Amino acid sequence: MHIWALFHPFLSTSVVRSFLKNCYTELAISDAELKSYENCYPFIYYIEHGKKYYLLANQAADEMKPILLFYGMIQLMKACLLTVDPTYPATTTVLAHGVSTRKRKKRNYQFLQDEVKIQKNGLLQHFLTFALHQEVTNERIDMLSLFARIPEMNAIFLQCNMQKPSEKLRKISDDAYEITDSLLDHLHMTENRLKTFLNMNVHQEKTKNLLRIELNRAIHPTGCLPFFYHSNGEYYIPLKRQLFEPIHEIVVHYLLLYNLSMICRYETEWWYELFHHFSNYDLPFIQHFLTISETKTPFLLSQYLAIKKRSFNKLR
């Protein structure tokens, strides 16, 4: 899988030690050099272990993919955490998954309508705090709204006769994008309200029925909220207000894979009926998502590391 070439710079002990030392020095860790030596091999092993899970998932039946993808993602997240928390894992509380879902599925259960809840402790909350510097305020998040935050899922929304949740932005310069002014109707906003909502300059070009959105900062795949990043290199803007809540796409994949892996393990009867009865929209959404997540999640986590590494390289 070509995606793993993105991790090749981190498979050298000398490179990783220097990289981690820079990370810890920036964090004002007093024993930065010692910690970089201690964490060098765990960092590399996390990446290698995660890669093996993903390679197995690539060969596995769809029924088994959620477990392999979820645990592969966890290993890569642990590598990322070592760049911001040299003592990870300091306690057993950060080893828990940090998400809860319904213990028993109700009659006529549908995955798209299911919900998960982020716990106050655990790996996910630790990653949110230390790696993403983000706080998710929503108590419960439903699966359909999580799918809606992944722009590659637009195709399946349309194929299942649902409104697509986001629209592509057309790049016109490094700091400006265009979109049709129908966005205002979707969001039920005026131009001025959208400008305040986005905290960006927005200009309506009446003759072309277009909106020009001028960014106030550079965006990249792991730092583009409130926009969504597509694997083809383009950015999308939500067409629903609730999708503007800043939930990082790494978190979106984690929550979906967690719930799917739990169902795969503990709701075996429902899981296999899903793959044999084709009774609702759950299966096409799940299968399409698994195909996307298999490459996009390691890409996003590789970019998290690459951006940190590039920032240090510029200082040399």
Look at residue 198 and tell me whether its pLDDT is greater than 60.
Answer: yes
Cα distances from 282 to residues 27, 35, 91, 111, 286, in angstroms, run 44, 46, 37, 6, 6
Residues making up the chain, counted from first to last: 316
SS3 state at 233: coil
Look at residue 53 and tell me whether its pLDDT is greater than 90.
Answer: yes
What average pLDDT does this structure show over 85-93? 90
Using pLDDT thresholds of 50, 70 and 90, give the confidence band for residue 298.
Answer: very high
CA distance 127 to 130: 5
Look at residue 279 and tell me whether its pLDDT is greater than 80.
Answer: no
CA distance 286 to 35: 41
pLDDT one-digit tens code per residue, 111-148: 999 999 999 889 999 999 999 988 776 678 999 999 99
pLDDT, the chain, mean: 91
pLDDT one-digit tens code per residue, 215-250: 988 899 999 999 999 999 999 999 999 999 999 999
Query: The whole model's pTM is what?
Result: 0.95
Residue 121's nearest CA partner among 141, 140, 100, 105 is 100
pLDDT one-digit tens code per residue, 155-181: 999 999 899 999 999 999 888 999 998
